[in-house]
Structure 1
Amino acid sequence: MAEDGALDAAAVWSRLEGDPEESANLAIDVDGVWFTCYFFDIEEIEFTFDPSDVIDATSFAPVRAFVTWLGRATGREVIVTMEGTDHAAMPALIRWRP
């Protein structure tokens, strides 16, 4: 955080890059589905959620809302894949494009 208490992304990334033991995450609850972001790479935002929270059309609505909001807020494509490390090689389960 900046001295005035404001969030400062550059300071967070500097701290994460400077100490391999440091970590940070952000969790957002959207109508009962938790989306958690672990800051692995400054070029890619990666969120996880528990697929067992999504069992029908009603519980899928928060996923759709979050994906749409994230895409509009960032102006970037949002892709939902299965969990793994090589996201580029995985088929998209959901894709939102600006």
Structure 2
Amino acid sequence: MAYAMLEPKFIENGSCMNWEQIASDFAWDGSWRDIYVLNTSEADWQGVWDILLEWTPPASFSVSGKIESMPLGIEAALKSETGSLLSFYVGPIQLACHFFSAVEIEFDFDPRQVSGGTEIEQLDRFMRLLGDATGKQVILTQENDQEAIIARYSLDLESVVWTALS
């Protein structure tokens, strides 16, 4: 997947983001990190799904632990009561989607897979892709805590804004 040149990312106070400022947000504390798109519709899901159908390397889709071909439509994954799972890589970072809710898109990942600026750049690009596909704000948070925002894609700024939590 090709990406355009990216503008510098910023910490909320306006200074350019650097790895040292946010590294502690990815220190292993026993919990995952989550990427959310909130207040979504099935059309938002389908827009993201269409991107992931073309993902390289290909995403892996399973239902009840059994690998299956990704359906063209998102409906089957959203309506599965047996546990759908989508897994794919953004650079070296493995993201997973468990389809918990139709009203939010959530991906989780192990923060130990983020070890520097290269991985941050890849997360930044992915968040922009989600925001552009849905036209909605995207947030990166501590696990299951939508208030503990590490970064957010701002539609107004067309940029990811990083928030050093520590």
Structure-2-length-normalised TM-score:
0.47
- Which residue number corresponds to residue 129 of structure 2? 69
Distance of aligned partners of 1:6 and 1:34 in 2 relative to their CA distance in 1, 3 Å threshold: closer
Query: Which consecutive unaligned segments of at least 5 residues does structure 2 have?
Result: 1-69, 156-166
- Which residue number corresponds to residue 92 of structure 1? 149
Q: Compute the displacement of 1:6 (Å).
A: 5.2
Partner-residue secondary structure (3-state), 1:28? strand
Distance of aligned partners of 1:55 and 1:7 in 2 relative to their CA distance in 1, 3 Å threshold: same
- Which residue number corresponds to residue 72 of structure 2? 7
Cα distance per residue 1:15-49 (max 9 Å; x no partner):
x2xx4xx0111122111111111100001000001
Letter of the 2:132 counterpart: R
Q: Compute the displacement of 1:9 (Å).
A: 2.1
Identity of aligned residues (%): 33
Q: RCO (CA 8 Å, sep 6+): is it higher in 1 or 2?
A: 2
Taking only aligned residues, the RMSD between alpha carbons, in angstroms, comes to: 1.8
Cα distance per residue 1:42-89 (max 9 Å; x no partner):
0100000111111111221111111111111111110111002x52xx
Letter of the 2:153 counterpart: W
Give the Cα–Cα distance (whole angstroms) in 2 for the partners of residues 7 and 96 of structure 1. 27
The answer to which structure has the higher helix fraction is 1
Spell out the pairing of 1:7-86 with structure 2 (5 A cutoff): 7-14=72-79, 16=80, 19=81, 22-84=82-144, 86=145
Give the Cα–Cα distance (whole angstroms) in 2 for the partners of residues 71 and 65 of structure 1. 10
Letter of the 1:57 counterpart: G
Distance of aligned partners of 1:91 and 1:9 in 2 relative to their CA distance in 1, 3 Å threshold: same
* Larger deviation, residues 33-42 vs 52-61: 52-61
Query: Which consecutive unaligned segments of at least 5 residues does structure 1 have?
Result: none
After superposing on structure 2, the runs of 4+ consecutive aligned residues of structure 1 that deviate more than 3 Å are none
